[in-house]
Amino acid sequence: MIAIRVRTLNIATVAALGALGLASCGKQEPPKPAAAPAAAPSIEIKIGSVAPLTGGIAHLGKDNENGVRLALEEATAAKIKIDGKEAKFVLVAEDDQADPKVGTTVAQKLVDAKVAGVVGHLNSGTSIPASAVYNTANLPMISGSATNPQLTEQGFKGVFRVVGRDDQQGPAVANYLATSAKPKTVAIIDDATAYGEGLANEVEKALKAANIRVLAREKGDDKKSDWKAVLTKLRGRNPDAVFYGGMDATGGPLLKQARELELKAVFAFGDGACTDKMKELAGEAADGLLCSQAGIPPQAASKKFLDAYKAKFKVDPILYSPFTYDAANLIIEAIKKVNSPDPAKYLPELQKIEYAGATGKIAFDAKGDRKNAEITIFSMKQGKLAPIAIVQGGQTTKYEDFIAQAGAAPAAAPAAAPAAAAPKADAPKADAAKK
| pLDDT tens digit sequence for 384-419 | 899 999 999 889 999 999 888 876 444 433 333 333
**Whole-angstrom distance, CA of residue 283 vs CA of residue 271:** 19
Comparing CA positions, the residue from 146, 70, 139 lying closest to residue 314 is 70
pLDDT averaged over every residue in the chain: 88
pLDDT for position 383? 87
**Whole-angstrom distance, CA of residue 376 vs CA of residue 295:** 6
pLDDT for position 173? 96
**Direct distance between the N- and C-terminal alpha carbons of the chain, in angstroms, rounded to an integer:** 115
The answer to whether residue 12 scores a pLDDT higher than 90 is no
pLDDT for position 29? 57
pLDDT for position 20? 39
Average pLDDT over residues 9-26: 41
Cβ neighbourhood burial of 236 (10 Å; 0-12, 13-18, 19+):
exposed
Helices (H), 317-372: 321-338, 343-351
pLDDT digits (tens, 9 = 90+) for 342-380: 999 999 999 999 999 999 999 999 999 999 999 999 999
Q: What domains lie within the chain, and their CATH numbers?
A: 42-163+300-372 (3.40.50.2300), 167-293 (3.40.50.2300)
Cβ neighbours, 10 Å, residue 176 = 21
The answer to whether residue 17 scores a pLDDT higher than 80 is no
pLDDT for position 393? 86
Cα angle 264, 59, 156 (rounded to 5 degrees) comes to 100
**Whole-angstrom distance, CA of residue 2 vs CA of residue 327:** 99
The answer to whether residue 124 scores a pLDDT higher than 70 is yes
- Length of the chain, please? 435
**Whole-angstrom distance, CA of residue 116 vs CA of residue 8:** 83
pLDDT digits (tens, 9 = 90+) for 158-211: 999 999 999 999 999 999 999 999 999 999 999 999 999 999 999 999 999 999
pLDDT for position 405? 82
Comparing CA positions, the residue from 71, 76, 122 lying closest to residue 325 is 71
